Chains A and B, each alone.
Chain A
C-alpha cells in the first residue's frame, strides 16, 4: 500500500548507458516531482508535472527526459549516463494545493 513507489531501488550501470526510473503514486495527487539528492544530501528539484503537463523544468541536462503517461505516473529517462549523474533520485507528489509533498523511497543510481 505504498503511497509513492519507485523502481528500481538500486541502479548500477556503466557510463554511456541509457536507463529509466519509474514512479507511481496512488494518492490521487495532481502534481508529481523529480528531485536529485547528491552525496552532500543537497536536494534539488529537477522537474514537476501537473495533470501530465510539465510545469517546472530546472536547469537539467537534456539527457534527462521526464514522461508522464498519466496523472499517477512520472518516469525519468536518462540518456548517455555520466559519472556525475550518480545520486539518489526521489519522486514526490502533492495534492491540488501543491503544499505537502509525499516522497518515494528513492532510487540510488551509481554510474561506473
Chain B
C-alpha cells in the first residue's frame, strides 16, 4: 500500500490562521519532503527534512519529523488565500534509491 498518508484530507481555515497537516508513513526513510500543488498545476517543492533532523523552518513553513512515530507535520503560519492548494508529503527510501512515494494529499482552502 502507499507509503504516505496525509491527515486531514481537507482543511478549511480563515486567512491569518495557522494550518497544520500531518503525514504518516510505514517504512524507514532517508528524507521526507513536502510539495504544494495548485489547482491544475504541477507540484512545487516546499521543504525537505532528513531522517536525522527533527524540525526545519522555511519562511512561514515549519516541518517536524518524528521517525519513532513515522510521522511528519507541516505548519503554515499566518495563512493567506494564496496558500489554497493541495499539500503532499513524499518519502524517500534508503540512500541510492530514486523512488519517492507520495501521500494522498491534504486539500487546504484559505478563506479571505
Contact = CB atoms under 8 A, between A and B. Distances in A.
A98 B98 contact: yes
Contacts of B101: 45
B45 A42 contact: no
Contacts of A56: 98-99
Contacts of B88: 43
A41 B43 contact: no
Interface of A is mostly: strand
A103 B43 contact: yes
The 3 nearest A-B residue pairs measured at CB: A103-B42, A43-B102, A103-B43
Interface string A94-112: 1000111111111000000
B98 A40 contact: no
B41 A101 contact: no
Interface of A: 4, 31, 33, 35, 40-45, 48, 50, 55-56, 90, 92, 94, 98-106
Which of B99, B101, B107 has the most chain A CB atoms closer than 10 A to its own CB? B99
- Range of interface residues on chain B? 20 to 34
B42 A45 contact: no
Nearest to B97: A98
Name B's interface SS.
strand
A40 B33 contact: no
Nearest to B50: A99
A50 B97 CA distance: 11
A55 B92 CA distance: 15
Contacts of B33: 99-101
- The CB with the most chain B CB atoms within 10 A, among A4, A94, A100, is that of A100
Interface string B92-112: 100001111110110100000
Contacts of A50: 98
A102 B45 contact: yes
6 contacts: A35-B102, A42-B102, A90-B42, A98-B97, A102-B45, A106-B42
